[in-house]
Each structure stands twice: as C-alpha cells, then as structure tokens.
Chains A and B, each alone.
Chain A
Amino acid sequence: MLRRNIKSTRSFSITASLGKWTEIPLAPPDKILGISEAYNKDSNNKKINLGVGAYRDNFGKPIIFPSVKKAEVLLLEKETEKEYTPIIGSKNFQNLVKNFIFNNSGKDPNGEKLINEGRIVTSQTISGTGSLRVIADFFNRFYSSKKIIVPKPTWANHIAVLKDAGLEPSFYEYYNTSINGLDYEKLIESIKSVDNETIILLHACCHNPTGMDLTNEQWDEVLNIIIEKNLYPMVDMAYQGFSSGDPYKDIEVIRKLNKLVVDGKIKSYSLCQSFAKNMGLYGERTGSISIITESAEQSQSIESQLKKLIRPMYSSPPIHGSKIVETIFSNEELLNQWLTELNEVVGRLNTVRTKLFEKLDGSIYNWDHLNKQRGMFIYTGLSQEQVIKLRNEYSVYATEDGRFSISGVNDDNVDYLADAMNKVIKESK
C-alpha cells in the first residue's frame, strides 16, 4: 500500500534536484519497537515488557543456549569469514537441515524417501523472513496462481512480505476473539471457498499471534480440502519445538505432508523455517526454505532458479549462524544437549502460563483458552482499551491486539501481572 502510494502520488519533478525525496510519507513505525521504546522510558520499577517476540529467562534476561555457546567455542578457532558460502548455503547445511526436519533425524520414512530420491531442494536464507520472501518471489515467477491465503490473524509481517513480492494475499478465517478459540467451521468454509490452486500459508505450530493450533483430526480435514481443491501448501515454521518442547513432535503436519506427497496425493509443498527462536539465533538470521519437488530432475531446475533469484538480492547468506547450526547438528552430544535446553525453555514458558492462569480470576473472565494455546504467546482476548489501560495504569506493555509474549512473565512479576489483569477486567465490567 505504502509503496504504491509513493509511486502514484509522487510526480517526480525533473528540476527538483534538491530535496528529491521530500514527498516520502512517514511510514508507520514498527509497533513492537514502539512498545519497547515506551517501555524503556517508563520509570515504574514494576514495569513489564510483553511485546518482544524473543525468549527471556525467569530473571527477565535473554539467554544464550549453552549448546550454541559450545558450538561457538568450537568455531572460534576454525571459522573463517573468508569464504563466501554458495548462493543457497553450503551443501552440509542443506543436508543437515533436511535430515533434521524432513527425516526427523531418522524417524520419518516418507521424508527419508523424498530426500533419497532428490525431491527436496533446500536453500539457506536470511532467517524466516528471508525464506518467506524468496519463496514468495519464486511463486510469483513460477506458480500458476498469485493468490495466497493466510490465517486471520497472522504474523504482522506476512502481508507486507507477500505483497512486496507481487503475490495477492487475503485471509482465511482462523480465530474468533469472542469465544477466544479457533473458529473451525468458518475456517473450513473459507478455505473451501477460495479458487483452486490458491497457495495456502499454514503455521506449522505455535500459531503467531494466537498460539492456537489445529488438532490432528483438524489437520487431516484441512489437508483433504487442500487435496480436493489442489491448493498449494506453504508451511511457515518459526517456532519448531515451542509447542511440546520436542522439535520432532511439533512437526506432525510436515510428516502428514510428506506422506501425501509419497502417496501421490499432492505434488509439492514448501517449508519456510527459522532458527531464530529455537536456537536463539535471532540476530544472526539463520533459516531455510525447502521445496518438495516432483522429481530429482525438477529439483535441479528449481535449485538453479532459486540461485538466480537470490544472487541479485544478496549474493549469499551469512555464515556465522549457519555454522552454529551445522556444528550442533553434526555432533550428537551437542544435538542432545540443545534438545534438552530447548525442552527446558519451553518448560518454563508452560510453567508461567499455568501460574498466570491460576492467579487470574476465572469467575470474572473465562481464561480456559490460555491452557490451550502453545508457544511464545498468549492471545488474551483483552480489548485494545484494556491493553492501553494496562500500559497507562500498570506499566504492562503489550501489543494492542492483546498478544502477550509470555517469556516476559516470571516468578517475580506474575502476581503483579495477574492482579493488574484482574483489575482491568473488573473495571471494564
């Protein structure tokens, strides 16, 4: 929108050599950053930041996974910045990631078959955002439809990324705030009503922002519609492991898709994936895309086209994060250590989730949905006014859609938070 506006409203004046860009309108500042700024300025020592989408420990501090640190120790002497990696990342990175995700490190025969048949093309990307962008550009060039549907609501940046790449995003029904739950009937209805061949974006687990995922049976039904209508599944997986604590358990939908491909029920699907959260590599920008293809031969074409697409954008991906991933995935001891650490992180999130639930007054508001939601967020159902009230009167900072990043909650502030929430609910009755 913004970008179109500039083009259409801007009549570029040839003589205006000075101040050529005076007409650039102010773009809306990033909401989450705005919240962090306001939080930083607040002098209340009880203030709580529930805006950031990054993990904090029980003391409110960001963590470095000890396994990641160990990998960095190993790399310190060995790693050289010197080499450009290939455009789509190193073969080693690609293979390790493929094995980890699609073969669940030896636990998914269908995924293994697809790997062995050369039917998965994997490319390292600039984290999850970059993977979404590249796949969107790829669809824009090569897929039969530009239409893509995303759940309502979805990650704040999805629409911008997809539109910017020339796709035409619209929403499918997902969540109903009046019942604080999945609107499953409407979801089915709205998927059924889209044009055949439309691309459908699916959150693999820990749906952002609602934390509400489909059940096994619901996935099956949705996948059946996908088969019937020949929709193209594009999976976004930014929180692998954050639902159950176990990355292998969290990717039931990938296993289901692998089976459907092997059984010939669908031809292809794609996965956009990020190590930002589950390895705590946020700022290092490490992720991947994988495209499941129809044949090894097609894989070669697709791989070469991905290279052609990425090369003019940024040439090649950054290596520090990918070397960490490679180090962890190729060392069994480190891999197991990381799995344990991730499990502990998720364990903490679930513990505070339960604590908060217990302290919230269920007699004035039904909080049952908190226990059904998974991942880094709780989607409270609080109204915009209530969120603003929490901010202004209690120094509790969250986005106005009522999404709380639970990792901002800990033993020290959970009572204060629950109390503030109870009060705000009561006052608006």
Chain B
Amino acid sequence: MTKGSIYSEITPSELDPIAIIAQKYNNDPSPKKVDLSIGVYKPENGDAKYTFPSVKLAKKDIFENDQGHPYHYMSGWPEFIAGAQETVFGKNDKSNVTSIQTISGTGAVHIGIEFLRELGLTEFYVGNPAWGNYESMIKSCNSNVNFFNHYDNETGKADIDSLFKTIDTMPTDGVLLLQGCCHNPTGADYTNEQWEQIAEKVRSRGVFVMFDLAYQGFGSGDKDKDAYGVRHFHKQNLEFIVCESFSKNMGLYGERLGCLHVVSNDKQNLNNISNLLVNIFRAQCSFAPLFGARIASNIFRDFKQQWDEDVYAVYERLSDLRIKIAEKFKKLGTPGNWDSILKQNGLFWFTDLTPQQIDTLINEYHIYLPYNGRFNVAGFNNANLDYVIESIDEVVRK
C-alpha cells in the first residue's frame, strides 16, 4: 500500500431523500408541523408507535409460552411460511409454490433479483414513478432497470396503455416488476379486468413477472381482494415470483418480516429452487429473524379474525380521510383537479404539486412530504386536516 489512505476512493454518499425530509421535520420546532412523508400507518391520534391489537395478543402469547431464540431453518420458520403463502395465494392449490423467509419486503425483492439473475434474467421493467429503492436495488445486483410510465396525470389512474406497450415490446427475457396493490407512490392500481388482460399478454409474450406486495389489505380492506392480480396469475398457471412484506399490514416494520414466493410449473424442480434460494440467502444472512415470524405465526393460528379486523380498520380510516380531504377541497374551491384522492388506493395520495410548491409547504407551512408530491394519508387526522388542505389551497393560489 502506498502512503495515504486505505480507503482513498471513499467519499460520502448522499442521504436518502426521505431521510433528509425526516431530519428536517425532526429539527423543526414549530408546534404546527405535520409529517406526511414516510410510509408508516398512524391512527387518528397520530401515535407513530401504534401496534395492531392482533400483534399485541400475539406478543403476549409468545411471552407466556416462551420458546426462546433458537436457530431455525434457513428457508424460514415453517408455520410462518405456511401462513404467508395462505395470505398471498388464499385457497389456491399451493403445491407449485416454494418460499423463503426474508428480511422483510426489501429483502424479498433483493433475493428475488438475485435469484432471477441466476436464471439469466437481468433486464427489469419498472413503472415510473416507482418506490425509491427499486433502482438502486436492481443496479446493486448488477442488473439493469428500464422504466415505463405508470401514472396518468390526466385521469389519476394507472397508465395501462403504457404497460401494454411495454409488455408488447420488452425482450422476452425481461422481468416486469409490478406492485400487486396500493402502488407506491401513486396509489394507482390496475383493476381486476386489467389484471386479466395483463396476464393474457404476459402469457402470450412469455415475459416474466415479479410482484411486489407491500400493502396487501390496505387497498380494499380485504387482503383476499387485494391479491386479485397475484391469484389470477396463479390460476392461469403462469410462473412468477411474489415479494411479500408484513411491515405495513401487520405493522411489524422494525421486526423485518417478509417472504419470497416462487411459483414453478415444474413441481419436480421445487426442491432445487428452494435449495438455490437457501444458498443465496445463506451467503448473506444464514437465517431470517425469528421474533416477527413468531408473532405472525401466532396471528395466523389464533388471531386471524382480529388481524382481518385490524387491517379493515386501517382501510376504513384511510377511506374516511380521503373523503374528508376531497370534501375540503370542494368547499374551498381549490383550483385544479383534486379527484385523484378518491381514485387512489392505500396509504398514499399522489399529487402533481410542483417541487417549488412543496418547498413552500415545508418551509412556510411546516408541512412535510417528499418532493415527488406523495402524501401519507395516514398522517392526516381531524386535528390537522383542515390546516393542511387550507395550506395547499393557499400555495396553489399563489
């Protein structure tokens, strides 16, 4: 080694944009400040530490019947895997599915990308705007990312034509990365009919689909309904993978609970696929964390109905807020079209506010959201809703 530094090439990498907003919010002393940025569910009282009642019950049970913290299986905690499959595939025959527990949804997407790379699939097609992490995730596995337009600003809905065109023209060894429901950041999802059309086109082109399912249940209040796209693909005997996260729909964020499901038409080969997944995972983590898996297993076994109700309650609150927001805009007569709030699903509301307008909201009104114009609907509550919408109204009129 020559003199100087060992790590000479290292320069600071920039912060995640969401992290910058969060930092700014934390440093803002104003009592008026409102955080509508990071994608975490909050109840009416704004408690960022809200725990689902079903999770509380499950934790109490773990505590009373403590089974400790042993190493388990590299493919994951079996009861959890079974329940995760049930959540995604419902009553469908699951004998052609093999799964591995992952470090939440991010870990599922990551292992999914690595798995597909092993099969020679390295060209990813992602709807834009997209979850901020996809691009770096795909690139960090030495795969390539291509974008197509996901959102139609005019209608506030998913741009289905752009997707169809992409399926028609993408290389047949390309991978289409689709969010199963509650699209982040736009909240614009495909309808059931559109999923059927997508499946047809995917079959005829022979392209491969990777589903990302991070908000199952938040779209309709019903996890089964939200899984329509995935289950339809499954019934059509297509091969695909699903990346599932329990961060949002169990509120297990920090426990990092997720699962990667691989659907294969060659059942003989499921074992080999499972082995390959385990091998990839073993070289990165060995095992996935147990605590979250135990919580989920308890819920699947004993508190399923409570969980269904918890998820429905989230949906109900989000829908209620959407209606109130729309009414408020109507009352104010705010210039522009604000219907999108009613058309979109899930945690997010995607607006076409300009970066300058968002800058004003942040700096003059203490209202924090990322510069892509995405609001976390759950950050609204009866105490701040009028203030936020009135502020938007003022900013838009400026």
Q: Which residues of A contact B (CB under 8 A)?
A: 2-3, 6-7, 10, 12, 14-15, 17-22, 24-27, 29-30, 33, 52-54, 62-64, 68-69, 72, 76, 80-85, 126-127, 129-130, 133, 142-144, 157, 160-161, 163-165, 196-197, 230, 232, 267-268, 276, 280-285, 293-294, 298, 300-302, 304-305, 307-309, 311-321
Chain B interface residue count, Cβ-Cβ cutoff 8 angstroms: 82
B289 near A320 with CB under 8 A, answer yes
Chain A residues, Cβ within 8 Å of B289? 126, 283-285, 318, 320-321
User: Are A320 and B10 in contact, CB atoms less than 8 angstroms apart?
Assistant: no
Taking a contact as CB atoms under 8 Å apart, the answer to whether B66 and A69 are in contact is: yes
In the complex, chain A residues whose CB is within 8 Å of the CB of B282: 30, 129, 157, 160
What are the residues of chain B within 8 A of A197 when measuring CB–CB? 1
Given contacts A312-B110, A316-B254, contact A267 B6 (CB under 8 A): yes
Complex CA–CA separation, A284 to B10 (angstroms): 32
A83 touching B269, Cβ below 8 Å: no
Q: Are B173 and A14 closer than 8 Å at their CB atoms?
A: yes
Please give me the residue from chain B that is nearest to A83 by CB atom.
B254
**What B residues does A294 contact at CB under 8 A?**
5-7
Q: Are A62 and B255 in contact (CB under 8 A)?
A: no
Can you list 15 residue pairs at the A/B interface with Cβ under 8 Å? A17-B206, A27-B279, A64-B66, A82-B253, A83-B254, A126-B103, A160-B279, A161-B283, A276-B71, A283-B69, A294-B7, A301-B12, A315-B104, A318-B256, A320-B289
Check A30–B278 contact: CB distance below 8 A. yes
B116 → chain A closest CB, angstroms: 10
Q: Are B49 and A82 in touch, CB under 8 angstroms?
A: yes
- Asked if B140 is at the interface (CB within 8 A of a chain A CB), the reply is yes
Query: Which of A267, A298, A320 gathers most chain B CB within 10 Å?
Result: A320
Contact surface of B with A, Cβ cutoff 8 Å? 1, 5-7, 9-16, 40, 48-51, 55, 59-60, 63, 66, 68-74, 102-104, 106-107, 110, 118-121, 133, 136-137, 139-140, 172-173, 203, 206, 208, 239, 247, 251-256, 264-266, 268-269, 271-273, 275-276, 278-280, 282-292, 295
Smallest beta-carbon distance A133→chain B, Å: 5
Given contacts A84-B253, A160-B282, 5 further A-B contacts (CB under 8 A): A6-B118, A21-B273, A82-B49, A316-B254, A316-B256
Chain A, interface SS category? loop
B395 → chain A, closest Cβ, in Å?
29
Q: A19-B265, A143-B7, A197-B1 are in contact. Are A27 and B256 (CB under 8 A)?
A: no
From A164, A196, A276, A312, contact of B284 by CB (8 A): A164
- Contact status A17-B239, CB under 8 Å: yes
Say which residue of B6, B206, B239 sits within 8 Å of A143 (CB atoms).
B6
Q: Is the interface of B mostly helix, strand, loop or mixed?
A: loop
**Nearest A residue to B269, CB-CB:** A22
Known contacts A82-B51, A230-B1, A311-B133: A21-B119 contact under CB 8 Å? yes
By a CB distance below 8 angstroms, the chain B residues around A33 are 73-74
Cβ-defined contact, B69 with A302, below 8 A: no
Cβ of B72 to closest chain A Cβ, rounded Å: 5
Given A268-B7, A314-B104, verify A281-B136 contact (CB < 8 Å): no
The total of interchain contacts (Cβ-Cβ below 8 angstroms) comes to: 262
- Asked if A126 and B285 sit within 8 Å, CB to CB, the answer is yes
The answer to whether B49 touches A319, judged by C-beta atoms less than 8 angstroms apart, is no
User: When the two chains form their complex, are residues A318 and B287 in contact, meaning their CB atoms are under 8 A apart?
Assistant: no
Contact of B291 among A83, A165, A321 (CB under 8 A): A321
Contact A285 B287 (CB under 8 A): yes
Contact flag A20-B119 (CB < 8 Å), given A196-B1, A284-B69, A300-B12: yes
In the complex, which residue of chain A has the Cβ closest to the Cβ of B208?
A20
User: Would you give the shortest CB distance from A292 to chain B, in whole angstroms?
Assistant: 10
- A25, closest chain B residue (CB): B272
B13 surroundings in chain A (CB, below 8 A): 301, 304-305, 307-308
Assuming the contacts A14-B172, A19-B269, A129-B285, asked whether A82 and B10 have C-beta atoms less than 8 A apart, the reply is: no
Q: In the assembly, what is the distance between CA of A197 and CA of B8, in Å?
A: 14
Cβ contact of B63, chosen from A76, A196, A317, cutoff 8 A: A76
In the complex, the answer to whether B254 meets A129 with C-beta atoms within 8 Å is no
Do residues A283 and B72 form an inter-chain contact, with CB atoms below 8 A?
yes
Q: Nearest Cβ distance between residue B175 and chain A, in whole angstroms?
A: 11
The answer to whether B272 touches A282 (Cβ under 8 A) is no
* B136 in complex: contacting residue of A54, A84, A130, A311, CB < 8 Å: A311
B50 near A82 (CB under 8 angstroms)? yes
Which A residue sits closest to B292, measured CB to CB? A318
Q: Knowing A161-B283, A314-B104 are in contact, say whether A27-B272 is a contact too (CB < 8 A).
A: yes
Q: Is the CB of A157 within 8 A of B283?
A: yes
Closest 9 A/B residue pairs (Cβ): A283-B290, A314-B103, A17-B206, A320-B291, A164-B283, A318-B289, A319-B254, A12-B120, A27-B275
